[in-house]
């Protein structure tokens, strides 16, 4: 039986029983193999564009005796599935910008898909923005630390016609208890549910992100170009806003 990492287990726990799943960028096909072994899914496509992982996924499925349930296919993004073939898509372990571009390029393949389970390594705001602009309702956000890295898992469902107009309400600018203003952009960046819950690991993540942003400002300040000066001020403003949010929520938790 396959044993998953904490990160993949968190994704697996969100897959509904009886699903037909496409795992995009499946690597060694560990996630669909686990889901099939646990009887959670009835069918799966493990998609992988890189030859090495594709061959590893084929071996994994063959050795697990799951070839009747899991099809391993070589291809880029959602090109490995046909419209209506699956009802759940999982994508994990890549940047949010790439993830959003995969979803955008494969929009025609999302027919019949009712749930997306997404784990971007960085750039989560790109994923949230894509979901918002394409009729997907962000249902939950979870954050975890594993082996010194911090991951977010986002689940989304296809919004019904009566829900489309209200999707933006999740990212509507809001005020925190002591009056700190949180913009729509910051909610997309930091996570509307995560800001509400503010778990300890989320603070750790954003303290680390602030250090990265400060380094960017320092680099930009080495240049006298007008564009660099403007960008440095923009990033400095972003740092100030993030610090305000963190300070406010830390005070509330105390």
Using one digit for the tens of pLDDT, what is the confidence trace for 40-50? 999 999 999 99
Q: Residue 220, Cα to own-chain centre: how many angstroms? A: 29
**Domain containing residue 215:** 174-253
CA distance linking residue 144 with residue 201, whole number of Å: 7
Question: Is 24 found in the same domain as 124?
Answer: yes
Question: Minimal CA–CA distance to 5: which of 193, 148, 204, 141?
Answer: 148
Question: Is 181 found in the same domain as 165?
Answer: no
Task: Give residue 31's region: left, alpha or beta (phi > 0; psi -120 to 50).
Answer: alpha
> Which helix (H) or strand (E) segment is 14 a member of?
none
For residue 104, what is the DSSP state? H
Question: Is 129 found in the same domain as 67?
Answer: yes
Q: Among 137, 169, 201, identify where a domain stops.
A: 169
% of the chain residues with pLDDT over 90: 93
Question: Is 186 found in the same domain as 161?
Answer: no
Confidence category of residue 177, pLDDT binned at 50, 70, 90? confident
CA distance linking residue 241 with residue 32, whole number of Å: 40
Question: Is 220 found in the same domain as 164?
Answer: no
The reported pLDDT for the residue numbered 166 is 87
CATH of residue 153? 3.40.50.150
The reported pLDDT for the residue numbered 252 is 79
Mean pLDDT of 237-241: 96
Question: Is 219 found in the same domain as 239?
Answer: yes
**Residues 75-131: pLDDT tens digits?**
999 999 999 999 999 999 999 999 999 999 999 999 999 999 999 999 999 999 999
Q: Among 139, 169, 199, identify where a domain stops.
A: 169
**Residues 121-168: pLDDT tens digits?**
999 999 999 999 999 999 999 999 999 999 999 999 999 888 888 899
Question: Is 183 found in the same domain as 64?
Answer: no
Mean pLDDT of 11-16: 98
């Amino acid at each position: 039986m396959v044993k998953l990492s904490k990160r993949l287990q968190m994704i697996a726990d969100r897959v509904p029983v009886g699903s037909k799943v496409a795992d995009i960028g499946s690597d060694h096909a560990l996630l669909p193999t686990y889901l099939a072994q646990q009887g959670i899914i009835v069918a799966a496509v493990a998609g992988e564009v890189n030859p090495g992982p594709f061959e590893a996924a084929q071996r994994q499925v063959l050795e697990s005796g799951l070839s009747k349930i899991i099809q391993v296919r070589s291809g880029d993004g959602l090109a490995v599935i046909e419209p209506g073939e699956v009802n759940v898509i999982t994508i994990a372990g890549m940047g949010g910008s790439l993830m959003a571009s995969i979803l955008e390029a494969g929009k025609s393949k999302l027919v019949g898909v009712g749930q997306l389970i997404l784990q971007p390594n960085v750039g989560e705001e790109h994923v949230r923005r894509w979901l918002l602009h394409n009729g997907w309702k962000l249902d939950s956000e979870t954050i975890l630390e594993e082996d010194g890295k911090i991951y977010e898992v986002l689940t989304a469902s296809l919004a019904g016609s009566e829900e489309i107009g209200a999707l933006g309400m999740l990212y509507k600018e809001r005020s925190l208890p002591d009056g700190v203003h949180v913009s729509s952009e910051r909610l997309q960046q930091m996570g509307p549910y995560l800001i509400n819950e503010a778990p300890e690991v989320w603070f750790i993540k954003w303290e680390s992100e602030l250090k990265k942003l400060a380094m960017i400002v320092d680099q930009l300040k080495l240049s006298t170009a007008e564009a660099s000066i403007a960008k440095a001020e923009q990033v400095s403003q972003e740092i100030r806003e993030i610090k305000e949010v963190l300070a406010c929520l830390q005070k509330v938790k105390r």
